[in-house]
Amino acid sequence: MEETGRSLVYREFVQREEMFVRAPYNPEVEFYSYIMNGDTAMVDRLTDESVLDKREGWGRLSDNELQNVKYHLVITTAVIARYCINAGLPLQTAYNLSDHYIMQIDKCRSVEAAAALHKPMCMDYAKRMRSLQKNAVHSIHIVKCMDYIYDRLHTRITVKDLAEHVGLSEAYLCRLFKEQTGSSVSEYIARMKIATAKNMLRFSDYPIAEISSILAFPSQSYFTKVFKKECALTPLEYRNAKEA
């Protein structure tokens, strides 16, 4: 698959364009994972739709419409807090944030006012998770490398590319990257590609060979080797396990 084609297909997946097909699975889990991973662009996109438009699939927790919306938002807030805690957000921070939004929800006097809190609450958590990931390293050069890698997972990324991007020598960048992330550049790139591959296996019906090509692995066999090293399962085994 040519690079232009890979880029388009990769963007379709990341941006949830109309051609994206998700395998049957609880969509809330996917949504929470975007918040947990600090994917602010996806969270911003997915929360553009009013929470009021999604009420048809909700359970009925109260005969009072306002209370029903409030209860569901409180549950959502609590679940997001738990996901973020599991991903490294400090316990006190997560619970303080949860308490803040629950109090705001409680004060609402209309369904519309309560529903309007959904987007800022989700974005607040997502931004904190993104900041948490970036603050785990201290050098702006490494932060820029991480952003560069995330935006180009559909391409073959080299140390030379990254060094030129941040204006450092390759040797110094490799040493700095290892010191601040605990991984080599190649290990980090592979881990990010496999994390994306796991989402594609879980939430789309793309063939495994196509996922390998989209993420610019040199061959499907190499993709399988790297995937199994990271996950202890082959891509097919991982997909089948998630569908079981």
Average pLDDT, the chain: 83
Q: Over the stretch 130-171, which tens digit does the pLDDT of each residue have? A: 888 766 666 788 878 987 888 888 899 999 999 999 999 999
pLDDT of residue 201: 87
36 neighbors 84 (Cβ within 8 angstroms): yes
pLDDT of residue 156: 93
Q: Which CATH class is domain 137-243?
A: mainly alpha
Q: Over the stretch 59-116, which tens digit does the pLDDT of each residue have? A: 778 889 999 999 989 999 988 998 888 788 887 888 889 989 999 999 999 999 999 9
Q: Domain extents for the chain? A: 37-135, 137-243
d(CA 84, CA 54) in angstroms, rounded, equals 23
d(CA 47, CA 45) in angstroms, rounded, equals 6
Q: Over the stretch 16-52, which tens digit does the pLDDT of each residue have? A: 333 333 333 345 677 888 898 888 888 998 888 666 6
Helices (H), 87-117: 91-107, 111-115
d(CA 123, CA 235) in angstroms, rounded, equals 31
- Residue-wise DSSP of 141-196: HHHHHHHHHHHTTTS---HHHHHHHHT--HHHHHHHHHHHHSS-HHHHHHHHHHHH
Q: Which long-range contacts (CB under 8 A, 24 or more apart) does 140-149 make?
A: 141/166, 141/167, 141/168, 141/173, 141/176, 142/176, 142/177, 142/180, 142/181, 145/173, 145/177, 145/185, 146/188, 149/188, 149/189, 149/192
The crossing angle, in degrees rounded to 10, of helices 118-135 and 27-36 is 50
Would you state the structure tokens that stand for residue 92, as one six-digit string?
């006190």
d(CA 57, CA 61) in angstroms, rounded, equals 12
Residue count of the chain, please give it.
244
Residue in the structure block whose two tokens are 């590609």: 193
Residues sharing a CB contact under 8 Å with residue 108, sequence separation 6 or more, in sequence order:
66, 70, 114, 117
Q: What is the DSSP letter of 229?
A: H
> pLDDT over 90 for what percent of the chain?
43
